[in-house]
Structure 1
Amino acid sequence: MNKRNRIKFLASVMFILGLTTLNAQIKVSGIVTDEGGVPLPGANVIEQGTTNGTTTDFDGRFALTVNGKTSKLELTYIGYLPQLIAVENNTNFNIVLKEDIASLDEVVVVGYGSVKKSDLTGSVASVDMDDIPARPANSVDGLLQGQVAGVQVTSASDDPGAGAVIRIRGGSSLRGGNDPLVVVDGFPIGTAGDLKQISPQDIASMEVLKDASASAIYGSRGANGVIMITTKKGSRNTTEVTVSQQNTFSSFTSDLNLWRDPALMAELSNESRINGGFVPLYIGSEDANGVYYPSLSELKNNAWPYYTKWDDVVFRDPVSNNTNLAVRSQTDRTQFSLSATYYTNEGVYIEDDYNKLNLNLNVTHKLFEDKVTVGANVIYSKGKQNNNGDLAYWRNPIFPVYEDNDPTKDYFLVGVQDFSHPIALTENRSNETRFLDLISSAYVDVQLLPSLKFKTQLNYKYGRSINEFYNPKIYTLDGTFNNGSGGISNWDSHETVAESFLTFDKLFNEKHKVTAMGGVSYQYYQANTSNLRAFDFLNESLGSGNLASGNPEQQSVSNSLTETVLYSGLGRFNYTYDDKYLVTFTMRADGSSKFGANNQWAYFPSGALGWKLHNEKFIENLNVFDQLKLRASLGISGNQGISPYLINSRYGQDQYYVNGRWQTTIGPGYAVGQDSQTGKFIWGGIPNPDLKWETTRQFNIGADFSFFKRRLNVTLDYYNKYTDDLLRERLISPSSSYDRMWVNDGEIENRGIEITLDGKLINNDDWGVNGTFIFSKNENEVVSLGNALSSGLNTDALTGMQYEFSGSTVEAFRAVPNILAVGQPINVFYGYKVNGIVQSEADGLASGLTGDLAHPGEFKYVDLNEDGVIDEGDRTIIGDPNPDFSASLNLQFRYKKFDASLFFNGTFGQDIFNTKRFSEPNNIPLRWTQDNLTNNYPSLRDGRNLLMSDWFIEKGSFVRLQNLTIGYNLDLPNLFKRGRIFVNGTNLFTITDFEGYDPEIGENGIYWGGYPRLRNWTLGVEFTF
């Protein structure tokens, strides 16, 4: 080889070696922070043009092997501007991401589309999902409590599987339902009761549509607001596996109010029976049932061998478990997410439990150069609930659990018909419910033109529930009177929703932005129910597993088929000029099979205006606001939440259950029925072909403010909701041969204000302090109860106020003090006023009392109409169960890898009707006697007929530490990408003047007792690999 050739060869080798060195893989690392030096955990670091990437750890650090020095790193983080950085000769990076002013333009999901947050003209609130995984719950509804202004969530029960009641801006209907619509990934799955089918760990975002501008696009289903849920998709350019485990340990928040002193209990029982004219029990003899009751001396001298703490026998400290496993992945074209959640929940009763398995599969894929996107989502849940416990509060502590207190013997029963032995009931009665739910959807999204997109989506939902129960021949009321009774109830439903729509989105001349959507929707719903009951069992060994063992002549079979169809056309138009002036208009037309031909279709328009003042020069020059936007909206939505076929005559049986037997109702327009299980067939309702939709007109005005580089954000809203044509069932004259009729009659108004303050108080490298304060005030009023039919309304003798009773319209069967009164809030309390206790016979007579009411120790009812007699003419409004306002405070703290949050929640100004005020053991000893001339409590007297009065009214305001979480973020990159451990407490303490167990009760404000709310402590871990 000559010299020239050797030089060429060496040059070629050196060039190749240089290329090899240039393109050899290298490892880069670094830290990602914001402009204040605060680390950004979870930031995406991707090698450009590849799927090679990672995310930063809790300290904002990352490490990644790239192809070579020519590689470039793409960095993205929500709320910050993306960066593209060339590797070149660097291996260690300090990267500062700048906050994106356009984060105000965060995309918010609304009905049939999405919109930039800054372009919202309606009242839409986004729920911060960062706290959701750390809060133990089997459903989403309880997690909404106190999170959104104007949304009231009442969780009145800690029973396993129990859900919460959700109201958005108050109740607008009397019989049409007040639950908001729930939409999951574009599929309107139902009402708030369906939230339990969704696992909280699967939720990516959640929005609440509150005003008509936002919710009218759902027409007849949007009157009560809409909860929009988007489930999680795949992780960006990586595959992640997340495992979480939560174990919850529960106990009562307060001691049970039970008899702990048998001698005092017996003494007060004797006093009450003597005052009522009855023979006392505790005299050392047997009663008419052959049950021996010890004397007072036996109890006081410890000569009686039995003392049972029934709460220790039937209650337990329940333990719950929540396990979640999720796999999520994303490539340039495919997103994949699969998660499984298994939840078990023990009840406080020894035989109560609930378990549920949730599966969620979500897949999307892009085709044809990303112009077509196909996707599918399946949510599957299956579970079982045993509800077989029974209260033991009033079980006498002098009675043992078993004969002679020997567990090998039979239960100790009080007479031959003892239906209140909690262990006998729990161990011999069965009541099990099994359920299955499937929510599925598939869609195709086609980009027809750069500004035109077509989407079609097919949704299917299936639900099934089977309840089996058996009441044995002894120990149970129903079983004893029927020689054993059992039954099986089946319910299943199918729902199909098919929707297609076009979306146009284009910016003209850099100032005119137009977004328009139009489409059609079809919804078909079918429900099947069947019930089989059997009585008089020859063989009880299989219970409900062999209903054929019952007497064939006493079997009862029933079934029903329900079908409804809803046709809809819908559209929305959004216009923005110069990023300052916003206009929104929506229209939906719904045709429902629930209504007659005269009113089958209804139309629901809405309009809204917005003004981004912060983009005006005269506001920009002030250098005060980061955002200042005014909003106003007006719209109409509807409610069709009634049963189908109400437009037709209905022929069937109307029965009630008493003393173990079915009896046919006897009332206006009814033929006299017989004492049997079948009764007589009767006309149940007169047809009304003019029955139509409830209509809610809502006006909303609001403002959004941001200050100090958006470290302080304020949202204000005022609204007025007016609902007319209320769907109601009214009693009518017997001369029509019917007793009732469904009509559109009445009007309700809700008005209120909402305030949300959100602040980032401290945010640096080591410390972080954030807080959110929410204030909501809603006032409702029954404007009219109509007068289309002459009967059904009462007139208050003192004021002339028109009203009707809530619940039973028959006074003799009325068990609640609530009424619906024109000019008053919904469900106000109605009854007598009390002015102390009668101290003497003369005192009672002077107060207008007669008969037993005039005796010393009785309530001194006020003679309001001053006619010298206490009667129904002296009743008046005595309380209001609706709160004046509600408020919540959420505080979040961060110190390095530690974090903590406190959530306070409260409602204020509501009244509670406490039915247990004088029947609980703590209060009974405070009774009136000749030696204790109190004006606070009456005397003890068996057989007293108590009138509903303001004596039972208590203030229900409360503030509760609803949630406390303390967590630590683990930094062990060799083991996992992210890790976290935490401890969480709920219902930690409550400040209230209410004397019952808990002031958070149902909408009608009546306290029936029960057991205290549970305090829960949860230990949780979560790892991402």
Structure 2
Amino acid sequence: MKKQTHFSRMRVLLLLLFFPVVLLAQETITGRVVIQGSGEPAPFVNIVEEGTNNGTATDIDGNFSITVNSLPTTLVVSALGFTEKSVPVQTAGDISIEIAESSEALEEVVVTGLATSVKRSNAANAVASVSSEELVGLTPPQTLDGALAGKFAGAQITRSSGAPGGGISVRLRGVTSVNGNAQPLYIVDGVYVNNNSIAAAGLNAVSGAASGGNASNQDNPSNRIADINPDDIESVEILKGASAAAIYGARAAAGVVIITTKKGKRGQTKISFNQDFGFNTLLNSLGQRNFTEARAEALGAGNGALFAAARDNGTLIDWEDEIYGEQGFISNTSVNISGGSDNTLFYAAFSNNEEDGIVDNTGYDRKSIRFNLDHEFMDKRAKLSISSNYIDSVSDRGFFNNDNTGTTIGVALSSTPPWAQLFPDANGNYPDNPFGSSNPLQTRDLITNREDVNRFIVGASLDYKVFENDKSNLKLILRGGVDYYELITTAIFPEILQFQKPSNGGLNGVTALGTTENKDANYSAFLVHNYTTDKDLNFRTQAGVTKLTFSRNTVRNITSDLVASQTNVDQGANVSVTQFRQEQEDQGFFVQEELNYQDKIIGTLGIRGDKSSNNGDANELFYYPKASAAVNFHNFDFWNVPYVSRFKIRAAYGEAGNFAPNGALFTAYTNSLIDGNVGIVVPVTLGDPDISPERQKELEVGFDASFLENRIGLEFSYYNKSVDDLILQANAEPSSGFTTRFENAGNLENRGVEIALNATIFQEDNFDWSSNLIFFKNTSEVTRLDVEPFSLGGFGEGLGTFRIEEGRSVTQIVGNDANGNLVVLGDAEPDFQMTWSNNLRYKDFTLSFLWHWKQGGDNVNLTSLLTDFGGTSPDFDDFDFDPAVANGDFRVAAFFAGNATPFVEDASYLRLREVGLYYNIPSSVLDKAFAGHVSNVKVGFSGNNLINIFDYNSYDPEVSNFGSNGLSSGVEVTPFPSSKRYLFHLAVGF
């Protein structure tokens, strides 16, 4: 006992003797950890003294303090989602540490089901993900769908208009329907959102665009996904094929785009302010024809003298520059506030986006308010999430695209020579254009073509943990959402316009008012059960039911022969009213079983059953199965391949559906008025009440690999996607009284490969460089056709059109050749596409850019033909087709001969789609200047489409006259030209 006391006293004495020495040897290191690139504080980051257990973690503001035994030493900094970093420290005091987000994306969690997610390393499908930084961090996009261009494999994105406010077609892995919906399904925070392009403006009453040729939508409307503010988005995931999208059933044949918006984070409330200023300019100027007196005289007697007089007086006008030469002002302002406590998270944002067009009196103005709330309660057994968004947008679209009256701005411009005098006099009176049906300046300045949208998107989900123990748990998930918007379209063509004057055969003024009320709602309930065995075999079972309702009511009022200068629809002699109503209700269920053995072998089986009021039998269930498997070889003990960090093979099969297009299920009678007697008229197309939905089946196989400790990643996918029971129009027996009828009459197939290569080339303290290369291609074929081959989607065989023919590409373009034979002239499907993106950081500077190469893919270019008719084509006097015949004369002669050969052009391009250069002011400077009240400041410059290389003979090869129609992309007739965008940025975080 005494001996033990003696030793205890000795320990106390030694401690007293040496404690001051220990204190003298210890050193304290303080500092702050921030995220590289953004300068945002990095909370909850682990900091450990190398070779010891001595460590700490940063607080909510990224600050830390650690005491070490001696200096110099090395601190190891690590956090989930970030690259581990070793930091040598020579002296005590404050230091600043930057950590970079990991370039390895295999551990990213991706949403692949209605109620669950999966680690990317375990996913059996090729799921493309676009982060917030990739979406808006490089250069703020005008619209969400435009921001996706070039960001992932498997998509062909085509503009239907260069007008501010969007109008874009997105095609995933080829054509999925000929007459049905060809656009992907969009889901925002669990809410099924509407992406219709509604031609409610009534422009056809003036342009007559649908009175001949293709009667498809040519009113140049925007599409409604443009309403979503890209700055609110945290991530976008694209389920490109049926193997991934099968869980969404009857609406997912064209793919699914899952959008997750930003949420709050625990800790101190943060405020960020972003301001962009910039301008846009014409992307590609065509220039003018090199006129001489003789060439001017050839346009008509007396024009040679008019040209000579204007040339000598210096009054020749570049009308292209006059119309398209504006520098549209751009202003984007956004403020967001986020934060939260242990139980409640919130995110609130306001944005105001204004962009003028390159044409006077065109532009886009969108205001968006968002509030997201997450709240945990009942000891965190339950979680309520609410996502809400209000959008108010106004888009002035101008008057462009095809017409059969010569009145749109582009068509009128095509025949206007540089000596034409079209400016108004001192009293504002515009002269008539002697060279066309309209004065394009007068049309530009006086007409109205406006879309006004008020929209609410609200969603809520409730997650409740029914029970939980060491081996299993059960969760109940309830979700609901509403997407409601009112679209008001206003078109006004005053009677003083040249083409509205009765003396010129006009209608004495036209005003059109369209009102669309659209409401989509979705409700669902899911049960998710997890069970893990003693051998680490996990079973995840999920089952659920869904209900979707869709309602649309469009009323269009068109009035002509206006009273004086009135614009109300009731102030005219001739009033016509049309109405389109659509109601639909879908119900379904799904069951899915996922097995995961130690992250080594992962398998999934599932089935979706759907019924819809849009089917012939509203109570008939259509089933869509899915199955997938993945093997992570690198997780097995036997794996020992030098330099190969990860290797996974995967295979997946799935089916998805596509509803019949409107009118296919029934015969819609039309009204008539004969001698004052109202009645109905039988249409020419017969519906089929027994028609089945189109069904897509896809097999996808591939592998994912990474090398050199995950510094290099490679993804490869091959898919074979067939679409059965295509809904087509067949010729009807003449005795039936109909000319055509709808029926399930064909199959098509898409095959393709997608390759993605990403690499962290350099990763040092002061310099980082990461790069990503994407390659993809798709080929299609009509594998069955029970009707005669038919043409659609263009203006006939004499100008180039699409043709559905068994054994040929779905997107082939055909036309008559010089001998009058119907031949294949091209294909709208590209040979391949490639994108190359790079992100470089040197200290506080970052440079990022994205190149996009589209090789092949043809367009039907009729803009050149119209300028040939007007004698104004810039290349009119060149000899590219025939050494003895000028281009303009050759194309005009080809038109009258019914030869479509010169109108189908290669639409390849190479473009610098995005580029951005930014500077992050160091946190040490901000702390001194603002005493810690400002967490980050970033300034920079960015641009869209600044470099464009192509031989296509028009403004932009990325164009389509027929809106979002999936098959008819690549047909152009004097569109609103595309633009370049230049932006300057300021971002401040508090």
Q: Give the whole-Å Cα distance in 2 for the aligned partners of 1:728 and 1:821.
A: 12
CA distance 1:578–1:1006, shift in 2 (3 Å): same
List gaps (5 residues or longer) in structure 1: 1-21, 57-61, 67-72, 84-89, 270-280, 284-293, 654-663, 665-672, 788-792, 794-802, 834-860, 863-870
1:236 equivalent among 240, 245, 266: 266
Contact 2:33 2:58 survives alignment (8 Å): no
Query: What are the residue-to-residue correspondences of 1:36-55 with 2, within 5 Å?
Result: 42-45=41-44, 53-55=59-61
1:588 aligns with 2:619: no
1:151 aligns with 2:155: yes
2:563 equivalent among 533, 538, 546: 538
Per-residue deviation, 1:27: 11
Q: TM-score normalized by structure 1?
A: 0.79
Q: Kindly provide the amino acid, as one letter, of the partner of residue 134 in structure 2.
A: D
- In the alignment, what sits opposite 1:299? 308
CA distance 1:473–1:633, shift in 2 (3 Å): same
Query: What are the residue-to-residue correspondences of 1:734-753 with 2, within 5 Å?
Result: 734-753=734-753
CA distance 1:808–1:210, shift in 2 (3 Å): closer
Which secondary structure does the structure 2 equivalent of 1:145 belong to? Answer: coil
Per-residue deviation, 1:762: 0.2
Note the alpha carbon deviations across 1:543-586, whole angstroms, 9 max, x for none: 1xx322212xx322232332100001012211012321111112
Tell me the C-alpha RMSD between the 2 structures: 3.6
Q: Give the whole-Å Cα distance in 1 for the aligned partners of 2:880 and 2:707.
A: 61
Note the alpha carbon deviations across 1:164-192, whole angstroms, 9 max, x for none: 21111111110111111111112222348
- In the alignment, what sits opposite 1:201? 231
Q: Give the whole-Å Cα distance in 2 for the aligned partners of 1:610 and 1:532.
A: 56
Query: What are the residue-to-residue correspondences of 1:221-232 with 2, within 5 Å?
Result: 221-232=251-262
Q: Kindly provide the amino acid, as one letter, of the partner of residue 162 in structure 2.
A: D
Note the alpha carbon deviations across 1:660-692, whole angstroms, 9 max, x for none: xxxx9xxxxxxxx97999996334543422111
Contact 2:451 2:490 survives alignment (8 Å): yes
Q: Give the whole-Å Cα distance in 1 for the aligned partners of 2:677 and 2:275.
A: 50
- In the alignment, what sits opposite 2:140? 136
Per-residue deviation, 1:940: 8.9
Which one is further off, 226-235 or 1001-1010? 1001-1010
Q: TM-score normalized by structure 2?
A: 0.82
2:417 equivalent among 396, 418, 429: 396
- In the alignment, what sits opposite 1:462? 484
Note the alpha carbon deviations across 1:610-667, whole angstroms, 9 max, x for none: 1111112332x22332211110011111111622x642331114xxxxxxxxxx9xxx
- In the alignment, what sits opposite 2:833? 886
Per-residue deviation, 1:101: 12
> Which protein has greater RCO, CA pairs closer than 8 Å, 6+ apart?
2
- In the alignment, what sits opposite 2:215? none
- In the alignment, what sits opposite 2:129? 126
- In the alignment, what sits opposite 1:440? 458
CA distance 1:1020–1:516, shift in 2 (3 Å): same
2:971 equivalent among 1006, 1011, 1018: 1006
Q: Give the whole-Å Cα distance in 2 for the aligned partners of 1:208 and 1:303.
A: 59
Note the alpha carbon deviations across 1:57-89, whole angstroms, 9 max, x for none: xxxxx36899xxxxxx99973425999xxxxxx
Per-residue deviation, 1:393: 4.0
Q: Kindly provide the amino acid, as one letter, of the partner of residue 921 in structure 1.
A: S
Contact 1:262 1:397 survives alignment (8 Å): no
1:630 aligns with 2:633: no
Which secondary structure does the structure 2 equivalent of 1:142 belong to? Answer: helix
CA distance 1:414–1:237, shift in 2 (3 Å): closer
2:363 equivalent among 353, 361, 371: 353
- In the alignment, what sits opposite 1:982? 940
Q: Kindly provide the amino acid, as one letter, of the partner of residue 505 in structure 1.
A: N
1:107 equivalent among 100, 109, 116: 109
Which one is further off, 299-308 or 512-521? 299-308
Query: What are the residue-to-residue correspondences of 1:315-354 with 2, within 5 Å?
Result: 315=324, 316-354=326-364
CA distance 1:118–1:805, shift in 2 (3 Å): same
Contact 1:598 1:690 survives alignment (8 Å): no
Q: Give the whole-Å Cα distance in 2 for the aligned partners of 1:677 and 1:959.
A: 60
Q: Kindly provide the amino acid, as one letter, of the partner of residue 467 in structure 1.
A: T
- In the alignment, what sits opposite 1:839? none
Query: What are the residue-to-residue correspondences of 1:468-479 with 2, within 5 Å?
Result: 468-475=490-497, 477=499
Query: What are the residue-to-residue correspondences of 1:293-692 with 2, within 5 Å?
Result: 294-296=303-305, 299=308, 307-315=316-324, 316-388=326-398, 390-391=409-410, 392-402=413-423, 406-408=425-427, 410-414=429-433, 419-450=437-468, 451-475=473-497, 477=499, 480=502, 481-540=506-565, 542-543=566-567, 546-551=568-573, 554-597=574-617, 600-619=620-639, 621-640=640-659, 642-643=661-662, 646-653=664-671, 681-683=681-683, 685-692=685-692
1:77 aligns with 2:79: yes
Contact 1:749 1:782 survives alignment (8 Å): yes
Contact 2:512 2:569 survives alignment (8 Å): yes
1:828 equivalent among 812, 815, 818: 812
Per-residue deviation, 1:154: 2.2
Which secondary structure does the structure 1 equivalent of 2:443 belong to? Answer: helix
CA distance 1:297–1:573, shift in 2 (3 Å): closer
Q: Give the whole-Å Cα distance in 1 for the aligned partners of 2:813 and 2:283.
A: 28
Q: Give the whole-Å Cα distance in 1 for the aligned partners of 2:731 and 2:416.
A: 41
CA distance 1:761–1:555, shift in 2 (3 Å): same
Which secondary structure does the structure 1 equivalent of 2:783 belong to? Answer: strand
Per-residue deviation, 1:380: 1.0
Q: Give the whole-Å Cα distance in 1 for the aligned partners of 2:130 and 2:530.
A: 27
Per-residue deviation, 1:598: 7.9
Q: Give the whole-Å Cα distance in 2 for the aligned partners of 1:312 and 1:678.
A: 51
CA distance 1:1014–1:943, shift in 2 (3 Å): closer
Which secondary structure does the structure 2 equivalent of 1:238 belong to? Answer: strand
Contact 1:443 1:455 survives alignment (8 Å): yes
Contact 1:32 1:40 survives alignment (8 Å): no
Query: What are the residue-to-residue correspondences of 1:686-701 with 2, within 5 Å?
Result: 686-701=686-701
Q: Give the whole-Å Cα distance in 2 for the aligned partners of 1:39 and 1:311.
A: 42
- In the alignment, what sits opposite 1:219? 249
Q: Give the whole-Å Cα distance in 2 for the aligned partners of 1:327 and 1:826.
A: 49
Which secondary structure does the structure 2 equivalent of 1:618 belong to? Answer: coil
Note the alpha carbon deviations across 1:901-937, whole angstroms, 9 max, x for none: 121001112233333446252222236999x735977
Q: Kindly provide the amino acid, as one letter, of the partner of residue 318 in structure 1.
A: G
Identity of aligned residues (%): 25
Q: Give the whole-Å Cα distance in 1 for the aligned partners of 2:492 and 2:360.
A: 18
Q: Give the whole-Å Cα distance in 2 for the aligned partners of 1:419 and 1:889.
A: 46
- In the alignment, what sits opposite 1:805? 791
Note the alpha carbon deviations across 1:112-143, whole angstroms, 9 max, x for none: 22112222112212213323233222321112
CA distance 1:205–1:510, shift in 2 (3 Å): farther
Per-residue deviation, 1:394: 2.6
Q: Give the whole-Å Cα distance in 2 for the aligned partners of 1:309 and 1:366.
A: 64
CA distance 1:140–1:606, shift in 2 (3 Å): same
Q: Give the whole-Å Cα distance in 2 for the aligned partners of 1:1020 and 1:675.
A: 65
